Every structure is written in C-alpha cells, then in structure tokens.
Structure 1
C-alpha cells in the first residue's frame, strides 16, 4: 500500500506560485490550520484561493493570530479569492481598493454546487439564483460566459464546475488510507472539496490503522485523498 502519511511541510511542497487551491472550513472552523501554517512558511505567491470566506484577521474574538485563509491574506500570498462571505476580513476590502487583490463573490449554495460538480464529474449545475439580475451577463470566476437555460417554463443559470490544483481539507478522524469524517461544524466544505482538485491533502486530528475503526465511522472514501498529515489541532468555534 502507498504510504500517504507526510509532514505538513512535505504535504504542501508541491504547491507552486500561481496555483489554485481550495481550503475547507467556515471562518477558520474546519480549516486545516497546520497546512495553512506550512504554506505560509513555504512562502508561495500569486495564489487563487477558493473557500467559503477570507478567514479571520488577527485580533478577532481576541485571537493572537489570524485564522484560516486570513493567514494567507495577511502574508500577501493571494492574488484572487473566490468566496461567498468576506465581510469579516478587512484585508480583502483593502486589497480590492488598492488593486492588489481580486475578489469574486459567488452565492454560497452556488459555490458549493460548483465544487460538487467538479468532484462528481458533472458538466455543471442549474440554479435559479441570479436569474433576472446582472449575473446573467457577467463572466464567472474563471472568465467563462454564463448561460441562461429555460426548462419547463422556468429559467436557470448554468454554473460551470470549479476545480483546483490542490484541496486542503481537515478531518476529525481518518485512517491511513484517507477514509475520513468531520465532526460538527468542521464539515463545512471539507466533504465537497475532497475530490474536486488534482491533489487532495487531508490534515486530521486523529489517524488510525486501516480496519481499526468501524467503516461506518467514515463519510468520505480515502480513494480521493492523496496525502495525510496527522496532528491537526482541536477545532475551535
């Protein structure tokens, strides 16, 4: 069996300048912080980052460091962020005003479905969200034109799949093959992103031997996971 276990530094070693990465979690909850820290240490630049939000800046809720994607923004590593909720991190607005950061807002449900479409090999998804608004005429986050389709008398926007070079995901428990589960709020985007990238890195609180845990413990199959990092800190809200 291929050994998928690596250190955080080894796991992110393939991420290069200009790549597109997905990051699981919601405002830091469910984000693989050990992978983010290793990526900041590596110092790559000009990333396109896909996530629910921009993480949290230092000082939020008394935090001594930024959380999640906020660490990448703080380090000036991001050129383009594709997200749904960015109001909690003023670095995004500052970057947009300064012209150093591009931000593409995608409705949260649409963002999840675009990622899921890439994960499951779908050609796209149809949604009524945005019909009758300027979204019909706008290009999407990858500069692809939108299409409006009418089905049984109702109009829908065709949203294309959204895929990345790397997906950084977080688990509460996994086995050494990569079968994993996320507890409580840490589920956010981790399940849907695993499989929607060319390379999937999973940081887990706990790693067990194959067969040690009941198979029903796990939600996502390890076949979509390329690399496993053990020792992710306990999640916080």
Structure 2
C-alpha cells in the first residue's frame, strides 16, 4: 500500500491548529518560509500562538502578518530582524520574546525532534544567556515584567557549558523545494538552514512543497528530511512556487 500524505489545500492542512498552539516555523529571513501555510493560518483565525522560528518575518510578510493581527503571544527566536512591529510589540509588553543564540535555537529544535531532552553547549557561557536576566517581557512603562532564569553551567573537558532545553512544538510549518508523497523532503540552499530542524520539532508537521513527486523519485542521498517527520503535504501551483521575496534589495548604477 502506497503512502500519500498530500492534502487538498493549505486551509485544510492548518484547519485543526487551535488557539494557544505552539508552532515551529521554517525559513531564514524570508528565504524558505512557508508563505501559504502562514497565510492560511491567518485566515483560519487561531490566536494566542507560540512561535519558534529564526525570526518573525518582516512588516507585512510572513509571520509578520500573524504578529500584526495580534495572534502571537510568544516568540522564541534568534533576532528581532527587520520587523519594526515586532520590536514595537516587544518593547510595549504586548508579546513575550525569548531571544536565543541562532545555532542554539537550531539545535534545540533538532534535539527535540531526536528525543533529546536537553544538551550542553559553550555558547552563551559568561553572558546573560547563562546567568539569567535577559528581558523576556516588558511592562508598558518599560520596566522588565519577566526575565530569563539562570541556567545550569558545568565543565566538560576544561570547557564551561550551559544547559539548554530542547524544543518540541504542537505543529511545524515548513517549505520544501521537492517532497515525495510519503513526506521525504529536499530543501534548496538557505531554506535548508531552519526548515529541517523546525520540521523535526513539530508533533504534527505540515509541508508546503514547490513540487511533489512519486515515492522513489528522490534518491536516498537527495533527501534532507525523512518522511517519518511529516504528517501533511500541500502541493503548490507553479505560480505559488515562483512567489519568493527578500527583505531588502540594494542596487547601484552600473558604470557605462
């Protein structure tokens, strides 16, 4: 019996995501983000969401749409990025933000998907990451309402390391260049940075794929994410697959 995880639409794929759900979302900046799953979730209406992602989109695009609609209560990310509304909500005390070193964030998701509860890393030792006190949420008057707690530090082989807890989320939304019907995925270039660990972290992982092929068409060495991690697949149209944006474009005049 063949496996076919393809669903009819992005709306169908995110229909059961409830208020208060946690979601790992792939992409780096705007590269490799699941554009259409995010927009379907915006239309679906779920709120009070906890988002785990490298960043939170930009103003007017990606996860920034959910943020602007007031649908996100907490973000675990590595930077605020170029999203002015994200920065405004954080400083105004409207959203909780747990800033995490970028490599640590990726490993927290990968480890969560691998069944590892926590791990030690030297990243952050000697800083507020390990010692605690990073602002997570502000009061409207600018004082700190919630700060990060101190973390355990131990020495391994002469190097101090800080204990980081792994991340497992209710759902994951990711974008693949190619997926077969069983959910085996291949990612393109920078989209491979955060999509595989985000996909691993989700208990229910949904993939929007630019191209869907039959099982067996992807060679074993071409698979970046095994289908065991994937629950649902949305096949994009060629027009949807071609829609890609970047945060900024800076050009200069050529010398004649």
Flag whether TM exceeds 0.5 (same fold): yes
Query: In structure 1, what is the equivalent of residue 222 of structure 2?
Result: 217
Query: In structure 1, what is the equivalent of residue 180 of structure 2?
Result: 175
Q: Does 1:130 align with 2:130?
A: no
Give the structure with higher Rg (CA). Answer: 2
TM-score (norm 2): 0.83
CA RMSD of aligned residues (A): 2.0
The answer on whether the counterparts of 1:27 and 1:68 sit within 8 Å (CA) in structure 2 is no
- Structure 1 unmatched ranges of 5 or more: 58-65
Query: In structure 2, what is the equivalent of residue 121 of structure 1?
Result: 115
In the comparison of the two structures, how many residue pairs are matched? 229
The answer on whether the counterparts of 2:58 and 2:81 sit within 8 Å (CA) in structure 1 is no
Query: In structure 2, what is the equivalent of residue 53 of structure 1?
Result: 55
1:10 to 1:149, Cα distance in 2 relative to 1, 3 A: same
The answer on whether the counterparts of 1:169 and 1:190 sit within 8 Å (CA) in structure 2 is yes
Distance (Å, rounded) in 1 between the aligned partners of 2:124 and 2:74 = 22
Q: Does 1:102 align with 2:96?
A: yes
Q: Which runs of 4+ in 1 moved over 4 A?
A: 139-145
Q: SS state of the match for residue 6, structure 2?
A: coil
Q: Aligned-pair distance for 1:215?
A: 3.4
The answer on whether the counterparts of 1:21 and 1:50 sit within 8 Å (CA) in structure 2 is yes
Question: Out of 10, 25, 35, which is 2:12 matched to?
Answer: 10
With 66-75 and 139-148 compared, the bigger mean Cα shift is at 139-148
Residue-by-residue CA offset, 1:63-119 (whole Å, 9 max, x unaligned): xxx222111112211011110121310111211232211111101011111111101
- Structure 2 unmatched ranges of 5 or more: 137-146, 247-256
Q: Aligned-pair distance for 1:159?
A: 0.5
Distance (Å, rounded) in 1 between the aligned partners of 2:155 and 2:116 = 19
Q: SS state of the match for residue 18, structure 2?
A: coil
- Which aligned pairs between 1:82-97 and structure 2 lie closer than 5 A? 82-97=76-91
The answer on whether the counterparts of 2:109 and 2:200 sit within 8 Å (CA) in structure 1 is no
The answer on whether the counterparts of 1:33 and 1:68 sit within 8 Å (CA) in structure 2 is yes
1:212 to 1:81, Cα distance in 2 relative to 1, 3 A: same
Q: SS state of the match for residue 194, structure 1?
A: helix
